[in-house]
Chain A
């Protein structure tokens, strides 16, 4: 499954970052690497964007961007 499909409160582990170019780079900058654990914290009031917790840091992405990250839920 991909990161955008996970519900707030659930956790997953990153399998692959499918993005390319700037988005790939930005996601790596924020720490979306293989094996990293991600927790979906909450959706914005209008559902998009979504806030994630990884490595003790809070990061928000739009669903469109989160779709590029493959995860296995835990």
Chain B
């Protein structure tokens, strides 16, 4: 069997490489108008007459050094995996700079085909490139394409299908360095027994002081080390003579050759439409309009995705409920006061999954907005505007988007936020961003905020919302700075050198497909984890279960309630059927479903008809007229309430006695300083899996003592006499810094490639949150502050801390300013 041919796609960021990949393979793939968005290697297949050709999309790289992971990945693939052809995609409007990469691939002696992409953009700038001349100058085949309009694909495919002719040797003349290079090449040939890498390429890398090649030569033994010393001596001598170091000289020679080739192959028409991009930028990054527009864009992002998306969830919820109900239909029938384990377990898992699935409309819109901003080319401008602010705190201009996605004001999600940190070029700032994104206000934190504000801050709701949304960004800045000065200190920091790509008009297809793809990816990554976690939480909150004594007590009460019900309907035609225990339970199950369906809007008559198929006698008890039915209905209502409060009592007792409840009780002495009692602890612990459930758990704990239909807020107020606005404030601040959900922790693991960082992302917010909550509660009590004044006092304190931290120079940035780290002499 013939093996697949492998074509590796290489090119600089923003050359349209991903559109070429899509054009060749038809696969949907992440394409973004943002430097360096592809970090993973992506693969696809091109079907052709000569069998399938495998296309490998390598990360975009400006050159092939060992300074960044993108460049290393690309370089190692070309050298070690020896693809049959390297397809070098070139931005035709930017030929000179692109050729510097082409030279480096040629020097690796890889079989090469050049694809001149974005020829339309070049034409727009009055540049027309003669592919024949270019092909002659480089000695390799050259194709022309317009990737985003799928032009030139056939020609390119034909080139790829053809058996590559051994391309003629390409050699740049490095002039004054040439003699040193030649002698080093010869020396390399005698040291290494077999040639795994091209000698000349290695020699060039030695003079560029490339870490990985130097290590490789050193590893050969004494002769290798001697050669390194010799290269160093030659480099010093060269520097003295030429007043330029070899690395810079090599770059310069490539630049001159690229200029030569450009002169030979490009025809320029003067006066063509120069720079719409510049004219747009004079507004977009304008001192005054820039920030205003940025705020406008963030606002629009929220309005579109969170507000509109939330409205759309109303259409999704009924579907999800219907799904859950139909699954539950296949499970064993619920008992009178406790359900079979399988039923409650599956119910809990489904509820957790649904709580994530309802966000799908929000994610679709959010991802589409982001894709639009990326494709247009706005992202680098955003980084340009805000870099100054973020850099002070150890972040980067490119941290803006992750923070917005995380919920810089109110409502976001840390998962896409952490995902979006991938583009941050500076490693240290990237890690700092990953670790502070979960401090933002994700959508799941909001129910608790609104609950507490509606009880304890009546009349100043707006002020409190403003407080909670601005406190998190202030805290995030302070934390980022502390982290980058401490635990992240050792991580490499990179210079800020950012291309500002020209604006593009995005295509609807491109945006829609990427939004769908990212949402799908999100669901795939998250759902299995949510499932596992909800199972774990189920056991933590249900075991060891109720003591036998209580079980007997509940059984007795259940029997009483049932007996009372039967007494009330005594003498009716229903009594006989319902005296049977099994039929009674099925009656309860059916009336539950009946009520749920009624609430969802189904009409009674058709429901009765549907249920008749199951059991006609029971179905006839669901709706009806006449005295008999009225009697049943009245008794059923009483039964329902009695049962409900029994179930709540039992679940509250079960929760308090469970593993989680015991932990909560154990933690009480520590959380006392923050004003959290055991009930609050249980709610907070149980929301580790998903924060949405904090309110639901509080709902179970603060169960109604009568059937007056009081809201949870009223019940909390009634049952927690000692609970003050200060308690609520401490609780809200703790929620603001609440540890990330499992999905986020998983994403932190993906982006940092280490569980240790995930663990850190779990532990530090807990400590921070507890510390701040204790400070607020204990401090507020000591100073006699409460509610709003305490909130603003805390805000002032944290703000001052952040400002002071901002004053501390980041080690490297100052070094850069003094030119120590990156400067030569």
Contacts and interface: CB of A to CB of B under 8 A. Distances in A.
The yes or no verdict on A and B being binding partners is yes
A30 B499 contact: yes
A24 B384 contact: no
A26 B290 contact: no
A22 B67 contact: yes
Nearest to B500: A58
B495 interface: yes
19 contacts: A28-B63, A28-B251, A29-B63, A42-B282, A44-B387, A49-B384, A51-B281, A55-B97, A56-B125, A57-B97, A58-B499, A58-B501, A59-B500, A60-B496, A61-B496, A62-B391, A64-B813, A67-B817, A68-B822
A5 interface: no
B817 A33 contact: no
Nearest to B397: A49
Interface in A38-74: 41-49, 51, 53, 55-65, 67-68
Interface in B689-746: none
A71 B432 CA distance: 35
A2 B112 CA distance: 39
Please name the 9 residue pairs, one residue from A and one from B, whose CB atoms are nearest each other, closest first: A23-B822, A29-B62, A46-B388, A58-B500, A20-B824, A28-B251, A26-B497, A23-B495, A64-B817
Interface in B793-825: 813, 816-817, 819, 821-825
Nearest to A19: B822
A55 B94 CA distance: 8
A25 B67 contact: yes
A59 B380 CA distance: 10
B823 A45 contact: no
A44 to B, nearest CB: 5
A68 B391 CA distance: 19
B96 interface: yes
A63 B818 CA distance: 11
Contacts of A21: 67, 821-822
Give the most central of A26, A51, A63: most B CB within 10 Å: A26
Contacts of B282: 42
B665 interface: no
A49 B62 contact: no
B454 to A, nearest CB: 39
A24 B255 contact: no
Contact of A29 (B97, B125, B816, B825): B97
A65 B495 contact: yes
Given A42-B282, A44-B384, A45-B291, A22 B494 contact: yes
A48 B385 CA distance: 8
A34 B252 contact: yes
A43 B248 CA distance: 28
A27 interface: yes
B385 A60 contact: no
Nearest to B425: A26
B97 A26 contact: no
Contacts of B290: 44-45
B822 A51 contact: no
Interface residues of A, number: 41
Interface of A: 17-31, 33-34, 41-49, 51, 53, 55-65, 67-68
Secondary structure dominating the interface of A:
mixed
B65 interface: yes
A67 to B, nearest CB: 6
Given A20-B823, A29-B62, A34-B252, 10 more contacts: A18-B819, A18-B825, A44-B384, A45-B385, A48-B391, A49-B384, A51-B500, A56-B125, A58-B501, A60-B496
A41 B284 CA distance: 13
A51 B285 CA distance: 10
B498 interface: yes
B247 interface: yes
Contacts of A60: 380, 384, 496-498, 500
Interface of B: 62-63, 65, 67, 93-94, 96-97, 100, 125, 245, 247-248, 251-252, 255, 277-278, 281-282, 285-288, 290-291, 380, 384-385, 387-389, 391, 397, 494-502, 813, 816-817, 819, 821-825
B726 to A, nearest CB: 38
Contacts of A17: 248
Contacts, number: 147
A51 B817 CA distance: 18
A22 to B, nearest CB: 5
Nearest to A43: B287
A30 B388 contact: no
Nearest to B94: A57
Nearest to B245: A20
B387 A49 contact: yes
A44 B823 CA distance: 24
B388 A49 contact: yes
A31 to B, nearest CB: 5
A29 B14 CA distance: 14
B385 A67 contact: no
A33 B251 contact: yes
A37 to B, nearest CB: 12
A53 B126 CA distance: 17
Nearest to B286: A45
Nearest to B247: A24
A43 B187 CA distance: 50
B96 A44 contact: no
A30 B819 contact: no
Among the interface residues A22, A30, A34, A48, which one has the most CB atoms of the partner chain B within 10 A? Answer: A22
A51 B413 CA distance: 32
A51 B93 contact: no
A41 B500 CA distance: 12
Contact of B63 (A19, A25, A34): A25
Most A CB contacts (10 A, CB to CB) among B251, B288, B813, B822 go to B822
Contact of A31 (B97, B247, B397): B97
Contacts of B248: 17, 24, 28
Nearest to A29: B62
A41 B97 CA distance: 20
Contacts of B96: 31, 55
B344 to A, nearest CB: 56
A51 B499 CA distance: 9
Contacts of B100: 28-29
A42 B391 CA distance: 19
Contacts of A25: 63, 65, 67, 247, 251
Contacts of B825: 18
Contact of B824 (A18, A28, A45, A58): A18
Nearest to B492: A22
Contacts of A29: 62-63, 97, 100, 497
Contacts of B494: 22, 26
Contacts of A48: 387-388, 391
B823 A18 contact: yes
Nearest to A41: B278
B699 to A, nearest CB: 47
